């Protein structure tokens, strides 16, 4: 049962018992018949009666405490529809294909997967990004400090450490020229401190890349550092399929706090320069860094980099229980299908249709979604509201039909069919993890996939934002329209407030990470524009983020800075760009400087 309802019930019960004592003192004869006294209630029936009244009035009190959020919730749903939606469980999985495969296996976006709890309850997931599953294994990862054993590279003189990763084909009889991947996506699987440090090395300190048959290869394939790009930020890699009217920058903030592991990956392009001519079934990837992290040299695990990985989310589509309208209700609960899974929640309503007696259907539309007369044949409109269940921690969805001049006969014959995207609430967090569990299987297709290994434990379903802070969330979001996040005395405070809104985990670590942002400044700047053929210059904004020095490495804040860099780039006006620079309180020089960016595109 929800904590706020228990508190309201207890307050009402205490108030009734106090009132009973006062009443007994003022009217002892009447109280005697009820067997009431200041300290005790002797009649168990009267005691149960007071408890029942406290239960009912507790619901009323809870409703009053909510301050009737229909207005703010509706405005949030229109302007920022992502904010009140639950955040389903997510995890990272690794696919394995047939060992004798000679080509990649395409895994489309939203490919359905399923797994089961020990009691047989099914949890359904789907992939959140497209992927190509290559018959290649990455292993024997090793970090070395200079002097290191590696092929000669133009960046060798400035390199202070290297990361080497062995790439082997699953089929020992195959050759790389038979497979010839053009690019490979590597995800980092390591403890938090190691993964954060390695991610910072890969994204901020890479000075060169090489492909070679061995460290002694005198003809390595040299790749530019620009061939390595980060992943998880593009539109087709969104963890949750939010409506298009949701600002993408808010999506990135949400995903960072809900499931940061989805960003801990890089894509290396241009590999076909070597793989198209390689006649062996093994290659070694060498990545050269201009700095060194001693702890990674000592402790980096040999399987720290993984291929063929995809983030998945606990989302699936289904048809909800039909709703029959009548004149006795103003709103109706939208119930997931009754298939034995009592944890299912409505994540998004995809469509609402009215079923006529002749079997035909006609669509309904949300009241606040479309302009008038945008769609023809609309027979009804509705609004939606989300509420935390007083029993358990489920989020319940209610539909309110907007009735204009309906007769009682018309209402009686109306039956609504609802298609929705569902999640399983907190159920995935109870899946066993470790020893090969949970065991995922494709629901359909992907016949060439032989195994799906879960690399991270499924997260819990986040929904802390649902009730208490909706009005504050609306005010803070609207405040961004006139309060700059990129300069002024209040810039750092405004940005910290925004990050706090999206901190769904609300742990000591995330609060400390947010608090470590001490200053945000900005200054006009210029940058060179180039499309490979033409060269020009553009005006933009340089945003400087200053963090506390001790928190930078302790909390792995480079990833947060990367997300904020994308957030600023998406927030910038047209025909402008943002260059994000990161400084620490005790360091005179920047610790990170991101490339100028306009929206999703790097401009330099």
Helix (H, G, I), strand (E, B) or coil at 398: strand
Residue 89 binned pLDDT confidence (cut-offs 50, 70, 90): very high
Looking at mean pLDDT, say which of 62-66, 171-175, 460-464, 537-541 comes out highest: 171-175
Residue 376 has pLDDT above 60, yes or no: no
At 524 the pLDDT is 86
Residue 163 has pLDDT above 80, yes or no: yes
Residue 67 binned pLDDT confidence (cut-offs 50, 70, 90): low
Residue 431 has pLDDT above 90, yes or no: yes
Residue 46 has pLDDT above 80, yes or no: no
Residues 6+ apart with CB under 8 A from 156: 150, 208, 288
Please give the structure tokens belonging to residue 111: 């490919």
Please give the structure tokens belonging to residue 458: 């499924």
The sign of the torsion formed by the CA atoms of 88, 93, 96, 102 equals positive
Arithmetic mean of pLDDT, 184-189: 97
Give the tens place of pLDDT for each residue, 341-370: 778 899 999 999 998 888 788 889 888 765
Give the tens place of pLDDT for each residue, 253-297: 999 999 999 999 999 999 988 877 888 899 999 999 999 999 999
| Residue pair 395/386 in contact by the 8 Å Cβ criterion | yes
Arithmetic mean of pLDDT, 42-60: 80
Please give the structure tokens belonging to residue 294: 């001693």
Arithmetic mean of pLDDT, 595-600: 80
At 482 the pLDDT is 46
| Residue pair 558/200 in contact by the 8 Å Cβ criterion | yes
Residue 138 has pLDDT above 70, yes or no: yes
Residues 6+ apart with CB under 8 A from 590: 581, 582, 583
- State the DSSP code for 173: T
CB atoms within 10 A of CB 43: 13
| 400-404, 503-507, 553-557, 568-572: range with lowest mean pLDDT | 400-404
Give the tens place of pLDDT for each residue, 292-308: 999 999 999 999 999 99
Could you give the strand order of the β-sheet that contains 228-230, starting from the edge strand earlier in sequence?
A: 228-230, 265-269, 183-188, 305-306
Cα 513 from Cα 550, distance rounded (Å): 10
Please give the structure tokens belonging to residue 428: 């995935």
H-helix segments, 42-169 = 44-65, 70-79
Arithmetic mean of pLDDT, 460-476: 65
Residue 56 binned pLDDT confidence (cut-offs 50, 70, 90): confident
Please give the structure tokens belonging to residue 81: 């529809």
Bridge partners of 338, per DSSP, are: none
At 77 the pLDDT is 77
H/E element, 289:
strand 282-289
At 465 the pLDDT is 54
Arithmetic mean of pLDDT, 125-142: 95
Arithmetic mean of pLDDT, 303-317: 96
- Half-sphere exposure (CA, 13 Å, Cβ side) for 163? 31
DSSP structure string for 324-364: E--SS-S-EE-PPP-SS-TT-EEEEEEEEEEEPTTS-EEEE
Q: How far apart are the first and last CA of the chain?
A: 54
At 391 the pLDDT is 65
Please give the structure tokens belonging to residue 212: 């070679």
Q: What is this structure's pTM?
A: 0.86
Closest CA to 287 of 216, 206, 226: 206
At 472 the pLDDT is 65
Helix (H, G, I), strand (E, B) or coil at 19: helix
Average pLDDT of every residue of the chain: 85
Cα 1 from Cα 483, distance rounded (Å): 39
Residue with tokens 């005010």: 475
Percent of the chain with pLDDT over 90: 44
The residue with greater pLDDT, 54 or 319, is 319
At 523 the pLDDT is 87
């Amino acid at each position: 049962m929800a904590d706020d309802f228990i508190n309201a019930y207890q307050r009402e019960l205490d108030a009734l018992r106090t009132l009973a004592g006062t009443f007994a003192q003022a009217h002892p004869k009447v109280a005697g018949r009820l067997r009431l006294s200041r300290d005790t209630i002797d009649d168990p029936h009267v005691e149960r009666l007071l408890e029942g009244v406290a239960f009912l009035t507790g619901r009323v009190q809870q409703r009053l405490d909510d301050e009737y959020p229909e207005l703010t919730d509706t405005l949030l749903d229109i302007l920022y529809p992502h904010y009140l939606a639950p955040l389903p469980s997510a995890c990272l999985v690794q696919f394995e294909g047939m060992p004798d495969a000679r080509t990649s296996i395409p895994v489309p976006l939203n490919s359905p997967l399923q797994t089961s709890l020990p009691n047989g309850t099914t949890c359904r997931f789907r992939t959140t990004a497209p992927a190509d599953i290559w018959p290649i294994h990455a292993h024997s990862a090793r970090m070395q400090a200079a002097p290191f054993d590696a092929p000669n590279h133009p960046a060798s003189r400035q390199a202070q450490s290297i990361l080497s990763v062995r790439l082997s084909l699953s089929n020992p009889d195959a050759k790389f020229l038979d497979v010839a991947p053009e690019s490979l996506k590597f995800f980092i699987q390591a403890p938090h401190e190691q993964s954060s440090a390695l991610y910072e090395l890969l994204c901020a300190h890479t000075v060169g890349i090489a492909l070679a048959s061995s460290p002694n290869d005198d003809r390595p394939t040299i790749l530019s550092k620009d061939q390595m790009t980060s992943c998880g930020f593009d539109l087709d890699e969104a963890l949750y399929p939010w409506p298009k009217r949701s600002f993408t920058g808010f999506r990135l903030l949400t995903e960072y706090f809900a499931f940061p592991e989805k960003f801990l990956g890089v894509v290396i392009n241009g590999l076909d320069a070597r793989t198209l001519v390689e006649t062996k079934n093994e290659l070694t990837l060498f990545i050269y860094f201009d700095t060194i992290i001693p702890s990674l040299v000592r402790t980096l695990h040999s399987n720290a980099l993984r291929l063929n990985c995809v983030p998945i989310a606990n989302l699936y589509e289904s048809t909800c229980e039909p709703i029959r309208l009548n004149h006795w209700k103003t709103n109706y609960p939208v119930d997931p299908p009754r298939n034995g899974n009592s944890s299912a929640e409505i994540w998004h309503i995809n469509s609402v249709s009215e079923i006529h007696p002749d079997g035909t259907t006609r669509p309904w539309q949300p009241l606040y979604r479309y302009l008038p007369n945008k769609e023809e044949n609309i027979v009804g409109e509705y609004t939606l509201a989300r509420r935390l269940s007083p029993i358990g921690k489920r989020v319940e969805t209610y539909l309110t039909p907007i009735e204009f001049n309906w007769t009682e006969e018309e209402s009686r014959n109306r039956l609504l069919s609802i298609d929705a995207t569902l999640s399983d609430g907190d159920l995935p967090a109870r899946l066993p993890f470790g020893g090969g569990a949970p065991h995922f299987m494709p629901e359909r297709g992907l016949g060439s996939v032989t195994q799906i290994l879960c690399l991270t434990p499924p997260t819990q379903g986040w929904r802390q934002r649902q009730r208490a802070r909706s009005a504050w969330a609306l005010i803070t979001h609207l405040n961004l329209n006139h309060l700059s996040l990129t300069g002024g005395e209040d810039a750092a405070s405004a940005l910290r407030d925004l990050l706090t809104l999206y901190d769904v985990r609300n742990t000591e670590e995330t609060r400390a990470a947010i608090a470590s942002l001490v200053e945000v400044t900005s200054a006009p700047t210029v940058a060179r524009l180039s499309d490979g053929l033409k060269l020009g210059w553009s005006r933009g904004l340089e945003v400087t983020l200053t963090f506390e020095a001790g928190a930078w490495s302790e909390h792995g804040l480079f990833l947060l800075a990367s997300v904020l860099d994308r957030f600023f780039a998406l927030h910038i006006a047209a025909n402008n760009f943002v260059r994000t620079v990161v400084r620490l309180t005790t360091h005179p020089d920047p610790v990170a400087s991101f490339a100028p960016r306009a929206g999703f595109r790097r401009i330099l």
